[in-house]
Chains A and B, each alone.
Chain A
């Protein structure tokens, strides 16, 4: 199997994840009581985005 093609399928899935994750995160932030949004959530979202990006780069190269 061509690894590039699998990489592109994975890329589409990453895009899907980001498209769903961002509105969900915004919604979570909007509906959270003031001052209760944990710092770890921001860090986890940032880490997840960076990891997804690195894995995508690994998959297409």
Chain B
């Protein structure tokens, strides 16, 4: 009888983890669709970079000032939708830029397919093996900071080979963050599905942008 307590707790903890995971994936799927829809609206009405920049700043404000306050309530879900919708508006002109290339639709489709494959593959790997990738956190964050500094430097240096390399590095680092974040949900390190959704969404968003840049450079005639 003495072992009943811990067993019940473990069972409850596993149920709670599965609930967080299920809610995260459900919210992630809905927000990705919403983001794609707002990006489509942005392209359909040909909203320019100005609207995109404003939408980006608004999403920045949501993540800085609104989300930390509402992430533990149901209002957090609406904040995530607002955040992802605004990011969709912000990415619309970039996608339109690539669609204007001669093989634009192929570039965008390849980037989307690549992003989907990376996300599904890595998530399936973590969910199947149940490995703990928390050891990667420090390494990934340092790699991320180095990549950001190099990208800022390259704005002034303008070395095309470096931007190709950096796009690949960003895709690699964000893929690592997918492993890290999914593993955190599974091991119970992340119990808030709103925060987990935002983390995974931003990983996917950056992988898509990185791949778009990589494939776009190859396809730019």
Known A4-B49, A15-B63, A58-B155; contact A9-B68, beta-carbon cutoff 8 A: no
**What's the dominant secondary structure at chain B's contact region?**
helix
A10 and chain B: residue at smallest CB distance: B151
Q: How large is the interface on B (under 10, 10 to 19, 20 to 34, 35 or more residues)?
A: 35 or more
- State whether B91 touches A8 (Cβ < 8 A): yes
Q: B163 at interface (Cβ–Cβ under 8 A)? A: yes
- State whether B53 touches A60 (Cβ < 8 A): yes
Q: Which residues of B contact A2 (CB under 8 A)?
A: 97
Q: Report the Cα distance A17→B174, complex, angstroms.
A: 12
A61 and chain B: residue at smallest CB distance: B53
Q: Report the Cα distance A19→B158, complex, angstroms.
A: 28
Q: Which of A8-38 contact B (CB under 8 A)?
A: 8-20, 22-23, 26
Q: How large is the interface on A (under 10, 10 to 19, 20 to 34, 35 or more residues)?
A: 20 to 34
Q: A3 at interface (Cβ–Cβ under 8 A)? A: yes
Q: Which of A31-60 contact B (CB under 8 A)?
A: 55, 58-60
Contact with A along B161-180 (1 / 0, CB 8 A): 00100010010000000000
Give chain A nearest CB distance to B102 CB in angstroms: 16
Q: Which of B154-209 contact A (CB under 8 A)?
A: 154-155, 158, 160, 163, 167, 170, 195, 198-199, 202-203, 205-206, 209
- State whether B205 touches A12 (Cβ < 8 A): yes
Q: Report the Cα distance A31→B74, complex, angstroms.
A: 25
- State whether B155 touches A3 (Cβ < 8 A): yes
Known A9-B167, A22-B63; contact A16-B152, beta-carbon cutoff 8 A: no
Q: Which of B47-80 contact A (CB under 8 A)?
A: 49, 53, 56, 59-60, 63-64, 68
Q: Which residues of B contact A1 (CB under 8 A)?
A: 158, 160, 163, 217
